[in-house]
Structure 1
Amino acid sequence: MTFSLGLKATSAGYRLAAYDQVGSTNVEAMARARDGDRGSIWFVTSEQTAGRGRRQRAWIAPRGNLASSVLEVLEVAPATAATLGFAAGLATAAALQKVSVEAALRAGSQGLKYDLKWPNDVLVGGKKLVGISLDAEAVGNHLAVVVGIGTNVVGAPEGTPTPAISLAALGVQIGAEELFSSLSDSWVEFLGIWDNGRGFGEIRRRWLDCAAGLGQAVAIKSAGSTIEGTFDTIDERGCMIVRTSAGQLVPITAGDVYFGAAASVGAA
């Protein structure tokens, strides 16, 4: 089976660059933007050898996993582009829900619940299934935004800050190609809802409905300091709002997030 766009993505004019193996789909996408490509185009492989996730951490993707990046060239401010990650999380969860339900029906088992961890990960049972990253760079009068989505289809890395899991380990027997086709269609839907940031209110509402750890104890480690409290909500900019024990509402823009019992470990 080979990679192909879904029907919605094809109708919306998306293009596809598929690789048998590549260092990083994100790097390929941004290089294309620097060369003048104005999107919209997906870069995809089932074996990535030099991928990077959020905060430049290595992202291990053995053959059979899905490494995908979409390039969109937009007329938005960087702060607005940052909220696109929440749409990406919703699009990925929707695609996973579709293919896992279909796989469950074939196998006679139940589907899975997918949770969204701030800012961009997709979890199952508290374990990381998908990592999402955003890169942005000015190209002329526009902003090239690359959304990288890495999904553990057949295997998951060990020793990660958040324990990881794969679809195969969850009993979902699908291929990276099937998942990608669904993802490319789901992306069209949620990019349309996001609407260059104008629809972030609706994206925010839907994201909070799927949010991992909402209302739970949380610790965020960033730049050598730790903020502890309760995950209260996300604001109109996508910041995590933490309510401290003193009742103060603190906006968080970045950091490593630990929930529940792990919050006390993360704060240590």
Structure 2
Amino acid sequence: MGTNGGGEYSLDAFRHLALGEVTSTNSECLRAAREGDPGMLWITAERQTAGRGRRGRHWASEGGNLYASLLLLDPSDAALLSSLPLAVSVAVHATLKSVLPSTAEALEIKWPNDVLIGRKKACGILLEAEMLASGQRAVVAGIGINIRYRPEDAPYGVTSLSEQGVSQGADELFACLYREMAWALKLWDHGRGVAEVTRLWREAACGIGGLIRVNLPDRSLDGRFVGIDDQGLLILEAEGRQQLIAAGDVFLL
């Protein structure tokens, strides 16, 4: 365990650096880690010029949305790290739940960590890790939330919080995220609290029991989404057998 090992994720344990325009908040966090930052650092930006999504995809980053990344050093043993994205998505789900009006469409999580409103993507979450010269593992959780602006050319349904009746701006939303992430990480407890995190994740999940397509780097699989196991791996039932999937893009059929 590194800097955060054993320490509580209390609100005053985190620091926040607010920037104007950056390439990406994830890149800024990783740079800070290489320069010796002790972690527990939030970096937010008004705009990103090179925001990225999963598998290096471009993430549109106009002003008026929330772009935030959290740097953690050695947040858990390597074997328990795969459940961290679930904790992050539970925190983002709780954040949006706290600001969405009762008239908004259904708020759900799509595996592993897309947060959807009315089955439309409202948020992108990207976790990246890097081994540092010190031997510590830097883990960055990047979160982009569509508040005022959403991409017009996305290949899937997208929405923004303003379209759903939310009046809060990026600063107010970040204050909620800051609080909910501290709560979720405390619950996760360096990977030891994964059972409670997966329980909350399942309560918010969309598509369990339905047919899905999972796009892997080399092929696509269609089957029934059974759920997730206790480490957060997707359970897919296809051709009469169940298989566990650690990473992939999921489409509801």
Same topology, TM > 0.5: yes
In 2, are the aligned partners of 1:75 and 1:142 still within 8 Å (CA)? no
Following TM superposition, by how much is the alpha carbon of 1:160 offset from its aligned partner in structure 2, in angstroms?
A: 2.2
- Normalising by structure 2, we get a TM-score of 0.91
Kindly provide the CA deviation profile for residues 223-262 of structure 1, in whole angstroms up to 9, marking residues without a partner as x.
2311111100111232111011x320011122221112xx
Q: Which residue of 2 aligns with 1:247?
A: 240
**Aligned pair partner of 1:176 in 139, 160, 170:** 170
Kindly provide the CA deviation profile for residues 110-135 of structure 1, in whole angstroms up to 9, marking residues without a partner as x.
35531001111100111000110111
1:45 aligns with 2:45: yes
Q: Which residue of 1 aligns with 2:139?
A: 145
Structure 2: runs of 5 or more not aligned: 1-8
In 2, are the aligned partners of 1:82 and 1:134 still within 8 Å (CA)? no
In 1, are the aligned partners of 2:104 and 2:165 still within 8 Å (CA)? no
1:187 aligns with 2:181: yes
Q: Which residue of 1 aligns with 2:152?
A: 158
CA distance in 2, matches of 1:76, 1:183: 21
Q: Which residue of 2 aligns with 1:116?
A: 109
Following TM superposition, by how much is the alpha carbon of 1:152 offset from its aligned partner in structure 2, in angstroms?
A: 0.3
Q: Which residue of 1 aligns with 2:29?
A: 29
What is the SS of the residue equivalent to 1:46? Answer: strand
CA distance in 2, matches of 1:11, 1:90: 17
Which residue identity does 1:259 align to in structure 2? L
Q: Which residue of 1 aligns with 2:161?
A: 167
Structure 1: runs of 5 or more not aligned: 1-8, 261-268
CA distance in 1, matches of 2:74, 2:28: 18
Alignment identity in percent? 39
CA distance in 2, matches of 1:200, 1:126: 26
Q: Which residue of 2 aligns with 1:125?
A: 118
Q: Which residue of 2 aligns with 1:266?
A: none
1:86 aligns with 2:79: no
Q: Which residue of 2 aligns with 1:135?
A: 128
In 1, are the aligned partners of 2:10 and 2:182 still within 8 Å (CA)? no
Q: How many residues align?
A: 245
Following TM superposition, by how much is the alpha carbon of 1:46 offset from its aligned partner in structure 2, in angstroms?
A: 2.4
Q: Which residue of 2 aligns with 1:263?
A: none
In 2, are the aligned partners of 1:242 and 1:252 still within 8 Å (CA)? yes
CA RMSD of aligned residues (A): 1.8
CA distance in 2, matches of 1:160, 1:222: 20
1:77 aligns with 2:77: yes
Following TM superposition, by how much is the alpha carbon of 1:77 offset from its aligned partner in structure 2, in angstroms?
A: 3.5
Following TM superposition, by how much is the alpha carbon of 1:172 offset from its aligned partner in structure 2, in angstroms?
A: 1.3
Q: Which residue of 2 aligns with 1:54?
A: 54
Which residue identity does 2:60 align to in structure 1? I
- Structure 2 vs 1, CA of residues 85 and 76 (structure 1 numbering), >3 Å: closer, same or farther? same
Following TM superposition, by how much is the alpha carbon of 1:75 offset from its aligned partner in structure 2, in angstroms?
A: 5.2
- Structure 2 vs 1, CA of residues 11 and 172 (structure 1 numbering), >3 Å: closer, same or farther? closer
CA distance in 2, matches of 1:19, 1:154: 19
Following TM superposition, by how much is the alpha carbon of 1:43 offset from its aligned partner in structure 2, in angstroms?
A: 0.4
In 2, are the aligned partners of 1:81 and 1:145 still within 8 Å (CA)? no
- Normalising by structure 1, we get a TM-score of 0.86
Which residue identity does 1:120 align to in structure 2? N
